Chain A
Amino acid sequence: MDSIKLHYDVSGNDFTCAGEASGKIKRELKGLGFPNDIIRNVAIAVYEGEINMVIHAGGGVIDVEITPECISLDLIDEGPGIPDISLAMKEGFSTAPENVRQLGFGAGMGLPNIKKYTDEMVIDSEVGVGTTIHLKVFVK
């Protein structure tokens, strides 16, 4: 099969829409017959990425490329950027405001979860410019 390319917009500051892209990607992968654990890993990583775009970056876009061997994802935003990436990757580190915590987010588990559920994770971020997270999940 040729690679399949998908594109999703994540709107900023709208919690009611967060989870939409991950839900759609999940259904897409199900339809293509990928194994459940692979689908779950991708869905969790995308969900955390979406939530981060909403909380921290005012929205963004997600580009997906699917081949039988690998699911590649680019999570792209033009938000404030991440000043210290290794600090941001620490479990429990969060700059999320109180109103976000009351919704059950802001545990500082998002980026560590993304790392845990993907095979490759590269963060490109520049303060004042934006953040792009490149992810790969291999289908073993």
Chain B
Amino acid sequence: MTVKDFAQSADLKFICNEALASERNIDGCYCGDLLSWVMSKAKENNLWLTVMGNINSIGVAVLTDVACIILTENAPLDDNAREKADSNGVIILTTDKTSYEVAAQYSKLQ
């Protein structure tokens, strides 16, 4: 499943790099807001569900090679984070659903 496919079925909105989403495959899912924890536990191509929309989240996404960041519960994305995501090709989506709800949706589609 690609990020594009999942975004459609879970009704997520793109904020950064939608153009890359049909090429990016998803493999697994990780929920977490403590960046060091995520850094060590999230795997390549995971969906990453978080409420942490600061510039360091982008650094973590780049280094772990997650498929995308999904900002849940309408968590905001800082302006400098958006710029860094754009220039680093990090796909970011947003939703009013909780991380639990999005993860459950992903699990159903597995």
A residues sitting closer than 8 Å to B (CB atoms) are 15-16, 18-19, 22-23, 26, 36, 40, 43-44, 47-48, 51, 103-105, 107, 109-110, 113, 116-117
Contact = CB atoms under 8 A, between A and B. Distances in A.
B94 interface: no
B34 interface: yes
B36 A16 contact: no
A76 B57 CA distance: 24
Contact of B62 (A23, A51, A117): A23
Contacts of A40: 44, 63-65
B20 to A, nearest CB: 18
Contacts of B22: none
Given A44-B39, A109-B34, A110-B36, A103 B62 contact: no
Contacts, number: 69
Contacts of A23: 59, 62-63, 88
Which applies to chain B's interface (DSSP): helix, strand, loop or mixed?
A: helix
A57 B100 CA distance: 37
Contacts of A15: 54-56
Question: Would you list the 7 A-B pairs with minimal beta carbon distance, nearest first?
Answer: A19-B59, A109-B36, A104-B35, A107-B34, A43-B63, A104-B52, A113-B40
B59 A107 contact: no
Nearest to B43: A40
B63 A104 contact: no
